[in-house]
Structure 1
Amino acid sequence: MTRARAILAATSIASAAALLVAGCGDDTPATPSPEPTATASADASPSPSPTSTSVVVAPERPQAMDDDGPAGAEAAAVYFLELDDYIMKTGDTAEWEAMSHKSCGYCTNRLDQANLIAERGDTFEGGEARIRILHTYEQDAATGIWPIDVEIKESRSTITDVKGKVVFEQPAQTSTARVETTRSDGRWVIVGVPDIPES
């Protein structure tokens, strides 16, 4: 059975946490000595300094999430999973938290990982995901949950510490999961992201 991203994520978190904690000594990066530069002439115009910092943009909230039926449930599932690499790269977890149901262990695990990366000053790279809806089930009458099976194609990801050492690495992978979505206080929330049960 293809492992769902929920389980892979949980394993990744445990592995990353172990690696991140192991060997934690002085995490303060050494301040590099300034390189000697040629003295500019008085009439020379200063040139703009190039920057290597790339801007990480949050995925756009789909308009379909305004729908309170299955189309909205599907849009919410895709949008939530697309937020994952964004929270890892930026530490901006507000939207993730707003969409996470209190019972969602997957949601909490990924949030903890994002917070750990931010607290340590580590850098998360890669991990962009392309989500494809495989099947949307009927809404469960008792719970109001729409179970949605998805395929997740995720690019290679790495976590690098403040000293430039890669402390975690995951190759590109394709997995499946069942995203459980529901409405709460007029908005979509994720109740869980378990494995798709075997037939």
Structure 2
Amino acid sequence: MGLQGVFARVRGRGFVVGVLLVGLLAGCSSGAPVVEPSLPVVSQAPSPVPSPSPTGPVKPERPADMERTDEVGAAAAAVYFLELYPYVKGTADLEEWQVISFPEGCEFCTNLADSATEIARAEQTFMGGEVVAQASKVYPLDTLYGAFPLDVKVDQAKLSIVAKDGTVVSAEPATSVVLRVVVAHDGTAWRLMDVGEGNAS
């Protein structure tokens, strides 16, 4: 599963939203000192125990600016939502994703949830695909929807989906795209309305 283009249209004050985003990504040792007979016993400091390395995608940290309800908060939310993509895809952890998804009409939200569930059900592994996102433009608040449209530059690392037996089901090279992200604050938190093709200029 690679580059996906699934488009939805929100009718109203002229903005079109949709979906365009490519489908991340352990032990310790110790030994007791050997004491030779009739020799002085020398205490030996134990070897440091290494921390286990992550075995899957790491959930991004939620930015403090998401507490704001203005353009700054909108930009922080849009970036965070996109950077959640590989985590959700790689873990099928939908708890937060379902909370942030706009309850009606967010095809991007539904597509990601369905795709992550399908990968997990097939016992496949989503590898790579790390996302670095940066809001390049925040448009004025659309008062009809109470939403901020934004253009967000997204750099995504190469990715692959691997079957249980190690077979590569699909693979994609690294990509860079500009996406139109629409977020709205419902009075409690930011919600993702949808994602589509952005303005690269």
TM interval, shorter chain, is 0.7 to 0.9
Task: Report how far residue 57 of structure 1 moved.
Answer: 2.4
Q: Which residue of 2 aligns with 1:7?
A: 20
Task: Report how far residue 198 of structure 1 moved.
Answer: 8.4
Give the Cα–Cα distance (whole angstroms) in 2 for the partners of residues 198 and 123 of structure 1. 32
Q: Which residue of 2 aligns with 1:189?
A: 191
Asked whether the 8 Å contact 2:19–2:107 carries over to 1, the reply is no
String of CA shifts for 1:73-114, please: whole Å, max 9, x gaps: 111100000001001111111111111112111111111111
Q: How does 1:167-178 map to 2 (within 5 A)?
A: 167-178=169-180
Gaps of 5+ in 2: 6-17, 24-48
Secondary structure of 1:54's counterpart equals coil
Task: Report how far residue 6 of structure 1 moved.
Answer: 2.7
Q: Which residue of 2 aligns with 1:75?
A: 76
Q: Which residue of 2 aligns with 1:27?
A: none
Task: Report how far residue 7 of structure 1 moved.
Answer: 2.6
Give the Cα–Cα distance (whole angstroms) in 2 for the partners of residues 94 and 58 of structure 1. 12
Residue of 152, 165, 168 corresponding to 1:166: 168
Amino acid at match of 2:155: K
Secondary structure of 1:71's counterpart equals helix
Number of residue pairs aligned between Structure 1 and Structure 2 = 160
Q: Which residue of 1 aligns with 2:100?
A: 99
Give the Cα–Cα distance (whole angstroms) in 1 for the partners of residues 72 and 151 of structure 2. 14
Give the Cα–Cα distance (whole angstroms) in 2 for the partners of residues 90 and 62 of structure 1. 21
Amino acid at match of 2:145: T
Matched, 1:113 2:126: no
Secondary structure of 1:6's counterpart equals strand
Alignment RMSD = 2.6
Q: How does 1:29-40 map to 2 (within 5 A)?
A: none
* Runs of 4+, deviation exceeding 6 Å: none
Select the structure that is richer in strand.
2
Give the Cα–Cα distance (whole angstroms) in 1 for the partners of residues 56 and 189 of structure 2. 28
Matched, 1:179 2:181: yes
Task: Report how far residue 8 of structure 1 moved.
Answer: 4.4
Q: Which residue of 2 aligns with 1:33?
A: none
Give the Cα–Cα distance (whole angstroms) in 2 for the partners of residues 134 and 186 of structure 1. 25
Query: Do the aligned partners of residues 197 and 175 (structure 1) sit closer, same or farther apart at CA in structure 2, a change above 3 Å counting?
Result: closer
Q: Which residue of 1 aligns with 2:136?
A: 134
Amino acid at match of 2:20: I
Of the two, which has the highest radius of gyration?
2
Amino acid at match of 2:161: I
Give the Cα–Cα distance (whole angstroms) in 2 for the partners of residues 110 and 148 of structure 1. 20
Task: Report how far residue 70 of structure 1 moved.
Answer: 1.0
Matched, 1:90 2:91: yes
String of CA shifts for 1:40-71, please: whole Å, max 9, x gaps: xxxxxxxx9xx886253211111110101111
Asked whether the 8 Å contact 2:184–2:193 carries over to 1, the reply is yes
